[in-house]
Amino acid sequence: MSEAFSIVVDELVKRFRRFTAVNRISFSVARGEIFGLLGPNGSGKSTTIRMLCGLLTPTAGRVSVVGFDVARDPEEVRQHIGYMSQKFSLYNDLRVVENLEFFAGLYGVKGAQLTERIAWALEMAGLNGGEELITGDLAGGWKQRLALGCAVMHRPRVLLLDEPTAGVDPLSRRLFWELIHQMSADGVTVLVTTHYMDEAEYCNRLALIEAGRLVATGSPSELKRGAIRGDLLLVECAPLGRGLEIIKRQPGVLDAAVFGAALHVVVGAADRARAELPAALASAGVATSRIEPIAPSLEDAFVALAGKRHDLGATQ
């Protein structure tokens, strides 16, 4: 059978009593791809990843991983996936090497292969010489890379990461993503959940998920290009508050908001707005020091796509 796609999710649904946590989600992840599920807390990301591991049974829909149906062949699927959860399920009172041995044992890694994998994991995590450290004493970034090492002791073809970098420092986060990109280059398929907009930029392709529904999929640049109707301008002016009031009233302005010491303004046509806005501001006594087009962020894309359905308020 064709294995162009390592993960296929088809019309997946999970209900908890009356609450629909995952609502008819479908996507496919190609071999070696890094695919991100991006959404706020409570949007259904972790529920989806747990159904992919076989830890939760779907209410409806299908999941297959490297060609095996998760519902029919859960044991087969488990041999091919590595799973790292939000809380880095390490034993804090064990030594570093004991955690590696424990997870290797769970996955049936033995003998020469065990020695080789432990050496590899220590090197990868930057823990050479740190085998005897108590895991609970490690700083966040090292703990995180140790958890990654434990999750891939058995060389899985698919790696599932649930909020792997929440709260760690940015340098550790970058080291972590370098490791993920190297694994992906070696053919490992990666599915990762995150609620950090900027972190999603590390993924080859993304699905934006909100309130259990898939809002959009695409590469980070596709999503940023396609999401905003119009052009985004950065406007620096003083006084800022008065400037905002004036700009909101100008024809051709679709949206305007304060962003730090400047305004972000969405306009129908950037060239026209750049010509007209400074004069309109000046006539109201507001001086413009800078006006230029900027690239929309993923957050801009998310807000534009999700915002349409956002007047619901409640969890259901």
Would you tell me which residues interact with other proteins (CB under 8 A)?
Answer: 34, 36, 39-43, 95, 126-127, 130, 132-134, 137-140, 142, 166-174, 177-178, 181-182, 184-185, 195-198, 200-206, 210, 219-221, 240-241, 257-261, 297, 299, 302-303, 306-307, 310-311, 313-315
- Closest contact distance (angstroms) between CB of 74 and other proteins is 30
**Is residue 201 packed enough to be buried (19+ CB in 10 Å), middle (13-18) or exposed (0-12)?**
middle
Residue 206 has which token pair?
């993304």
Cα separation of 151 and 76, whole Å?
16
Q: Cβ closer to other proteins: 163 or 231?
A: 163
What is the Cα–Cα distance from 155 to 314, expressed in whole angstroms?
42
Compute the Cα dihedral for 206, 209, 214, 215 and give only its sign: negative
To other proteins, the closest distance from the beta carbon of 206 in angstroms equals 8
Compute the distance between CA of residue 135 and CA of residue 114 in angstroms, rounded to an integer: 20
Cβ atoms of residues 243 and 306 within 8 Å: no
Q: How far is the CB of 126 from other proteins (least distance, A)?
A: 7
Nearest approach, Cβ of 34 to other proteins (angstroms)?
Answer: 7
Nearer to other proteins among residue 66 and residue 127 (C-beta)? 127
**Residue 192 has which token pair?**
């990762």
* Beta carbon of residue 113, minimum distance to other proteins (angstroms, whole number): 26
Nearest to 284 by CA among 248, 235, 243: 243
Locate 175 and state its tokens. 């080291």
Is residue 66 within 8 Å of residue 6, measured between CB atoms? yes
Between residues 71 and 179, which has the closer beta carbon with respect to other proteins?
179
Q: At closest approach, how far in Å is the CB of 47 from other proteins?
A: 15
Q: How many beta carbons lie within 10 A of that of residue 265, not counting itself?
A: 28
Cis check: omega of the bond before 251, within 30 degrees of 0: no
Q: Which is nearer to other proteins, 134 or 287 (CB)?
A: 134
Least distance (Å) between residue 105 CB and other proteins: 22
Comparing CB distances to other proteins, the nearer of 111 and 260 is 260
154 versus 205: smaller Cβ distance to other proteins: 205
DSSP state of 188: -
288 vs 237: CA distance, rounded Å: 4
Nearer to other proteins, 82 or 220 (CB): 220
Least Å from the CB of residue 269 to other proteins: 22
DSSP state of 54: T
Residue 64 or residue 231: which is nearer to other proteins going by CB? 231
Q: Comparing C-alpha atoms, which of 7, 19, 88 is closest to residue 51?
A: 7
Which residue type occupies 179? L
